[in-house]
Amino acid sequence: MSELLTINSIDVKYGNIQALRDVSMKVDEGDIVCLIGANGAGKSTLLKAIVGLEPLTNGVITFEDTKIAQMRAESKQRFRFRRNHDILTTDKIAEMGIALVPEGRRVFTDMTVEENLDMGAFMVRDEKVVARKKEEMFEFFPILKSRRKQKTRSLSGGEQQMMAIARALMSSPRLLLLDEPGLGLAPLIIQDIFQKIALINREDKVTVFLVEQNAKIALKASTQGYVMENGKIVLSGDSKELLENSKVRAAYLGE
């Protein structure tokens, strides 16, 4: 399989705080890749860097053959950073086929379900395509069809998560980034969400990169996995092998 997303030695800083340190990883086309780690490890920061919401202080992020984020450190008389102004903005990254479902869902609570889906298709100019995509989402998430005219604030947490995923899929992305899709949900709802993620990957051929604190369900759902601690990748490999890794089992599976 070809590499769809390549992250090469990136750093991200918040003032004097080093959020990401020399992070390198890849996501192959067609895979489900997970990133696990404790709260505050830097997982969400990585997803934001991919879509241009957090600037890099070093390294490169490439989507297929296009550099979408880059920052090079140069040393002359003083240490300073030079930004590459050709790097893409968040809206251009989205147009290339990358969609992010952020942590906490971030739905438009004063809008209806249908209006939220329309917002997900804001880059699509053909109204017939938008209508067809909405019907596809209602077929894939039947509960949303029965709620289509309801304000999003009236939905349960699981229903809001399904709607956030459906909203991201309205743009027909090639790469779907999911930030804590199981956060705050009951176990049965989490299971349902992850079943939907598997279907999206298998039937719609959407590559998935998910961040999740629930290491067991993330590793079981994915093909490749990475472990992040204090902004660094400390382990990577086949997800099944990581599930059996003694360090992973002790630190993240409570064994």
Residues 33-67 have pLDDT tens digits of 999 998 889 999 999 999 999 999 999 999 998 99
User: Based on the structure, what is the number of domains in the chain?
Assistant: 1
> pLDDT tens, 165-224?
999 999 899 999 999 998 888 888 899 899 999 999 998 899 999 999 889 999 999 999
Listed in sequence order, the residues at least 6 apart from 150 whose beta carbon sits closer than 8 Å to its beta carbon are: 112, 113
Question: Using an 8 Å Cβ cutoff, are 58 and 32 in contact?
Answer: no
Can you give the pTM of this predicted structure?
0.89
Identify which of 76, 3, 64, 18 has the alpha carbon closest to the alpha carbon of residue 232.
Answer: 18
Q: Please check the confidence at residue 133 and state whether its pLDDT lies above 70.
A: yes
Identify which of 124, 120, 123, 175 has the alpha carbon closest to the alpha carbon of residue 144.
Answer: 120
Question: Using an 8 Å Cβ cutoff, are 12 and 19 in contact?
Answer: yes
Q: 20 lies in a domain?
A: no
DSSP string, 208-221: EEEE-S-HHHHHHH
pLDDT band at 157 (very low <50, low <70, confident <90, very high): confident
Question: Using an 8 Å Cβ cutoff, are 113 and 147 in contact?
Answer: yes
Q: Name beta bridge partners: 232.
A: 229
Please give the sequence-ordered ranges of beta strands (E in DSSP) within the chain, or none if there are none: 3-14, 17-28, 32-36, 58-63, 66-75, 79-83, 98-101, 175-179, 207-211, 224-229, 232-238
Q: Please check the confidence at residue 73 and state whether its pLDDT lies above 60.
A: no
Q: 39 lies in a domain?
A: yes
Listed in sequence order, the residues at least 6 apart from 3 whose beta carbon sits closer than 8 Å to its beta carbon are: 26, 27, 28, 29
Q: 70 lies in a domain?
A: no
Q: Please check the confidence at residue 72 and state whether its pLDDT lies above 60.
A: no
Neighbours of 91 (CB within 10 A): 11
Question: Using an 8 Å Cβ cutoff, are 103 and 183 in contact?
Answer: yes
Q: 123 lies in a domain?
A: yes
Identify which of 153, 154, 211 has the alpha carbon closest to the alpha carbon of residue 181.
Answer: 211
Q: Check residue 71 and give its pLDDT.
A: 75
Q: Please check the confidence at residue 76 and state whether its pLDDT lies above 70.
A: no
Q: 45 lies in a domain?
A: yes
Q: 71 lies in a domain?
A: no
Give the phi and the psi of residue 159 in degrees, each rounded to 5. Answer: -65, -40
Q: 18 lies in a domain?
A: no
Q: 142 lies in a domain?
A: yes
Q: Check residue 78 and give its pLDDT.
A: 41
Structural domain of 180 = 30-52+90-252
Q: Check residue 25 and give its pLDDT.
A: 97
Q: Check residue 80 and give its pLDDT.
A: 46
Measured CA to CA in angstroms, residue 140 lies from 12, 74, 108, 199 at distances of 37, 49, 21, 9
Q: What is the CATH number of the domain that holds 154?
A: 3.40.50.300
Q: Please check the confidence at residue 77 and state whether its pLDDT lies above 80.
A: no
